[in-house]
Every structure is written in C-alpha cells, then in structure tokens.
C-alpha cells in the first residue's frame, strides 16, 4: 500500500501502516531551524528502526479558536508547511483540526488519546519549551511522566538559539514585518519563499524599461512594504529543473502610480526575461531588503530609482556568489 504523505487529522490515522511511529509535535509554522532539530531527531530514529517519521501539526493555529480577536498570523499556508516538513525527511504529516473538542482535552488525557489514534506510537519529539493540553498546563516534565505510564519515550530537543536568543516563529514574524530579511533567512535556515500565479498588469513597467511579473498574494503575515532582491523559479517543477532568475521586486501599494491603493502587490522585475506569463505558478525567494517603498514626483524619478534598485540587487547577488 502506498503511504499517504498527508493525513487530515488523527481520526484518519488508521490508514497508517503498522510500523513503529516516531512523532514530532508542534505547529511548525515556518519550519525553522529549531523545528528542524525536533523533526530531524524523529527522522533519524525512524530510519534506524525501520519505523515511520511523522509530524502532528494543527489547522488552524490554536489562537484562531482561543484568541479569535487577535489570532497569530502565519508565516506560510498549511500546504507549504507540509511540503517543507516532508522535505525535511518526514514520511507523513498529520494535520489535526484544532476544534473546540480537541482544545478541551486535558493534559492528563492527551497521551492516552494520542495512543488510541496512533497505536504504533513509540517516541514523541518536541522542543523543551513545548506545552500541551487544555490551558497549556502540560510541560515536558509532565510529558515524560505520562509517557512512562503509557510505555512511550520522549525526546525533547534543547532550544536552538541564534545570536543568543531562542529561535521561534514569533521572532521570525516580527523580523519579517520589520524588513529584517537577513534575520528572517538566518532563523529559517533557508530563504523566505512565497508563491503565486502571475497576473497581467497595466504594462506601464514595460514602457519605463522595467517589465514586471505581477504576483497577487495575500499573506497572513505580510513582509515590510518595500523593494527586495529576489530569485524566481517555476513553483511546480521536476527535480532536474533547477532554472532560476534573479531580479528586483517591489512589494507595495505603488503610491506614485496608484493613488489610494491599499492592497499591496508583489511585482518582480527579472534581470533576464523569464519564460513566465499570466497564469504561470511561480515561486519567489526573498533574498534581501533594499529600501522602503516611496512616492516619487513622476515616473522619471521612479524609473531612475528602480535603475539604482536593480544595480543594488545585482551587487547583492554578486557579493553572495563571490
Ligand atoms: C524594483 C521596483 C521598485 C519600485 N518602487 C516603487 C516605489 O518606491 N514607489 C512606487 O510608487 N512604486 C514603485 N514601484 C512600482 C511601480 O510603480 C510599478 O512597477 C510600475 O508602475 C509598473 O506597474 P505595471 O507594470 O503593473 O503597470 C516599483 C517597482 C519595481 C519593479
Ligand atoms: N528554537 C527551538 N529549538 C528547539 N525546538 C523548538 C524551537 N522552537 C520550537 N521548537 C519546538 O518545535 C515544535 C513546534 O514549535 P512551535 O511551532 O509550537 O513553536 P515556535 O516556533 O516557538 O512558535 P511560536 O513562536 O508561534 O510559539 C515544538 O515541539 C517546539 O517545542
């Protein structure tokens, strides 16, 4: 039987094959370096024991239910999170609906309930700061005690730090909003990446010498408005398709040409013309923040600035390559 890579909750987990299960638990928004320490421990043990490595994540983020007036804005949609978790070596991602019933399970009942749904469960992998159960009263000490009662093992990863501070999705969200892309990318351990389907624009860019691909995109956690050095590629590609194009992008409301616009648009100008057109699904890697978006006195001033932006982005890529 082919292994399902994605399971829509613990109720569906009966489809899993009967192999020893190594389960990493958490939200994993961003799949940052701290998350990967947890996930990779599960993957390594599963490989050594011919077991199965899985993650249990939640959908939506618990805050949507528990704090609906101020929910957490996610760095990436659930589908991308799943893909990144699988790319880290996991066999399966279980996306548990975070319902009122699930939220009401007490810390004491959490493991017995999990075992009912996942009878092959052997080891749980979490970070040392992980909390669980109603009111988040369960901590790793309690998890260890409960695991012993239920014949399970626990691996709790020490906190992964960067610049002396723990890495967390929250820290990455703040850096992204502030345009600190170097921090975002360092904490993620890969380049922040989004995707979208190219849409036709007003073609004004072409007339000023900077044709752009417009990539409509409505993130929960939006980056700072401004100009970025980016790399684009086809979103759905075969493993031997390594083609990518460097360029410069504006993520903003274009005050110079679109007075009163409030919905930000992502526009990418690639240095070499890429083979993409309206309707193509592309991926955008956000490599560096260059400057804030501004209103210019006319198209010519904007054109001169974009010329400088493109030069700055080229310098960035040249330095990176060298
Ligand atoms: C690198 C780059 C930087 C940009 N910076 C600004 C800016 O600071 N202010 C602004 O109003 N528009 C800015 N724009 C957006 C342009 O106004 C927009 O690309 C142009 O109007 C063409 O849009 P269209 O091809 O969709 O018609 C920038 C675009 C690019 C590609
Ligand atoms: N820096 C880290 N080092 C090791 N483990 C981590 C780290 N950050 C999170 N984890 C663990 O990874 C799993 C998923 O983490 P989760 O997404 O819940 O936390 P987070 O990244 O701190 O997010 P947030 O900032 O939104 O609370 C949990 O088991 C958590 O304990």
pLDDT at 202: 60
192 CA to centre of ligand 1 in angstroms:
22
Nearest CA to ligand 2 atom 14: 26
DSSP line for 19-56? S-EEEEES--TT--HHHHHHHHHHHHHHHHTT-EEEEE
Q: Which of 133, 90, 129, 128 is nearest to 110 (CA)?
A: 133
Check if 266 has its Cβ closer than 6 Å to any atom of ligand 1.
no
Query: Which residues of the chain fall below pLDDT 70?
Result: 1-2, 201-205
* Ligand whose nearest atom lies closest to the CA of 88: 2
In whole angstroms, how large is the CA radius of gyration of the chain? 22
5 CA to centre of ligand 1 in angstroms:
41
> Cβ neighbours of residue 124 under 8 Å, at least 6 residues apart?
23, 24, 25, 143, 147, 152, 153, 154, 155
* Ligand whose nearest atom lies closest to the CA of 301: 1
pLDDT at 15: 77
261 CA to centre of ligand 1 in angstroms:
13
Check if 291 has its Cβ closer than 6 Å to any atom of ligand 1.
no
Check if 248 has its Cβ closer than 6 Å to any atom of ligand 1.
yes
Q: Which class does domain 192-321 fall in?
A: mainly beta
Structure tokens at 163: 């610049």
- Residue 51 neighbours by CB distance under 10 Å: 19
Q: Which class does domain 6-165 fall in?
A: alpha beta
User: What is the value of ipTM here, to two decimals?
Assistant: 0.94
Ligand 1 atom closest to Cα of residue 255 = 11
Q: Which of 54, 129, 56, 51 is nearest to 88 (CA)?
A: 54
Check if 233 has its Cβ closer than 6 Å to any atom of ligand 1.
no
User: Taking the mean position of all CA atoms in its chain, how far away is CA 239?
Assistant: 21
Pocket of ligand 2 (CB under 6 A): 25-29, 34-35, 37-38, 72, 126-127, 129-130, 157, 159-160, 166-170
pTM for the model stands at: 0.95
Q: Which of 30, 66, 169 to mutate to test the pocket of ligand 2 (most atoms within 8 A of CB)?
A: 169
Domain ranges of the chain: 6-165, 192-321
* Ligand whose nearest atom lies closest to the CA of 269: 1
pLDDT at 200: 78
57 CA to centre of ligand 2 in angstroms:
12
Check if 202 has its Cβ closer than 6 Å to any atom of ligand 1.
yes
* Ligand whose nearest atom lies closest to the CA of 174: 2
Nearest CA to ligand 2 atom 2: 34
Nearest CA to ligand 1 atom 12: 254
Check if 205 has its Cβ closer than 6 Å to any atom of ligand 1.
yes
pLDDT at 61: 96
């Amino acid at each position: 039987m082919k292994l399902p890579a994605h399971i829509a909750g613990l109720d569906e987990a009966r489809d899993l094959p009967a192999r020893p299960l190594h389960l990493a638990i958490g939200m994993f928004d961003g799949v940052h370096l701290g998350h990967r320490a947890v996930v990779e421990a599960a993957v390594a043990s599963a490989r050594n024991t011919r077991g199965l490595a899985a993650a249990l994540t939640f959908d939506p983020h618990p805050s949507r239910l528990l704090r609906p007036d101020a929910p957490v804005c996610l760095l990436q949609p659930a589908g991308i999170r799943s893909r990144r978790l699988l790319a880290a070596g996991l066999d399966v991602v279980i996306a548990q609906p975070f319902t009122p019933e699930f939220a009401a399970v007490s810390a004491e009942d959490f493991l017995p309930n999990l075992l009912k749904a996942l009878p092959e469960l052997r080891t749980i992998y979490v970070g040392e700061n992980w909390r669980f159960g109603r009111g988040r009263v369960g901590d790793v000490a309690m998890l260890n005690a409960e695991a012993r009662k239920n014949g399970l093992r626990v691996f709790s990863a020490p906190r992964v730090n960067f610049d002396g501070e723990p890495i967390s999705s929250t820290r990455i969200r703040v850096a992204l909003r502030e345009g600190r892309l170097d921090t975002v990318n360092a904490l993620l351990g890969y380049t922040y990446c989004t995707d979208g389907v190219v849409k036709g624009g007003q073609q004004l860019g072409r007339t000023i010498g900077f044709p752009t691909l417009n990539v409509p995109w409505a993130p929960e956690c939006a980056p700072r408005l401004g100009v970025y050095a980016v790399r684009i590629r086809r979103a759905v590609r075969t493993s031997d398709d390594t083609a990518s194009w460097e360029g410069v992008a504006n993520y903003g409301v274009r005050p110079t040409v679109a007075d009163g616009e409030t919905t930000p648009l992502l526009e990418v100008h690639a240095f070499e013309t890429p083979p993409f057109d309206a309707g193509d699904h592309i991926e955008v890697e956000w490599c560096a923040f260059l400057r804030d978006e501004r209103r210019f006195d006319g198209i010519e001033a904007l054109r001169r600035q974009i010329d400088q932006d493109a030069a700055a982005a080229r310098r960035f890529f040249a330095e990176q390559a060298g």
